[in-house]
Amino acid sequence: MNASSQQFSCIFSEEKTNAMRGFDHTRWRRTATKEACPDECFCCCCLCCFSGKSLENFGFWSVCCFVYSIIEFVAPITLLSLLFWLLLRPNNLRPVVDSAALVRFSINNVTSTLDYGLTIDLSIHNSHKYFDIRYFDLTAVASYGGTRLGPSVDVLPIFVQRPRATNLVHAAFHGSTAPLDPAAAKLFTREVTNSSFNLLVTVASTFMFKVRLAPVYYYNHECYISFPAPYDGGRPGATLLTLGTRCIATAR
């Protein structure tokens, strides 16, 4: 049945229903509309089905069909993204701090500056058996007490990681920060009394699994490194730590 014949049948069914006062009005209307519109959607959103409804309910059914069309479009994409997430588990891809060397970390309270020298070695492991991982962007930023160490970031090399492979990356931070946040200076004084202080290295990654239709993931990996308190007026010697600390992954 084409569109014109469907519309004519719906209008005819409405007029016939209004004329038959002694008949079961609701039941006959439902039957006539269903016969005229055999391909009606879940919430009766085709135009001919609206002709069998009263004008008072037209707004409700239009909203119903609009919501249904959105759900019909969004649901497959959402289910596909959820399936990829359950299959690939990108949050399990977390770097491990193998070693960290702190050669300089001193605060000058007079000039309110922080001099630092830090290098770390990170290992990134692909735990999947079958999927490669392509890294589009990989950067590292060091901070202390909310104060970023240095104006720039260390851009790490990008690569394609094979299944069950482990790649090593090296990050270095050297320079001075001025002016130093007073809250960071107070935090350092408080932590020194506890014989240790913590530095935060954040690794930002943009990657995707080499699977057809797989999405691109954006993650920040927070690596907290604890160092022994400095000595000799706040100037530590070279401190080399073998950690094996796994970073915390959060989606951006």
Model confidence pLDDT, tens digit, residues 79-93: 766 776 667 677 788
Q: Tell me the per-residue pLDDT of 25-39, one tens digit each, with 9 for 90 and over.
A: 445 444 544 444 444
- pLDDT tens across 49-103, in order? 444 444 445 566 677 777 777 777 777 777 766 776 667 677 788 899 998 988 8
Tens digits of per-residue pLDDT, 149-204?
Answer: 876 678 899 999 999 999 999 999 988 887 788 888 888 888 888 888 889 999 99
Please give the helix or strand (H or E) that residue 139 lies within, else none: strand 133-144
The whole-angstrom separation of Cα 6 and Cα 47 is 10
- Segments of the chain assigned to CATH 2.60.40: 90-251
Third-level CATH fold of 90-251: Immunoglobulin-like (2.60.40)
Residue type, 110: V
Q: How many helices (H) and strands (E) does the chain have?
A: 5, 11
Global confidence as pTM? 0.65
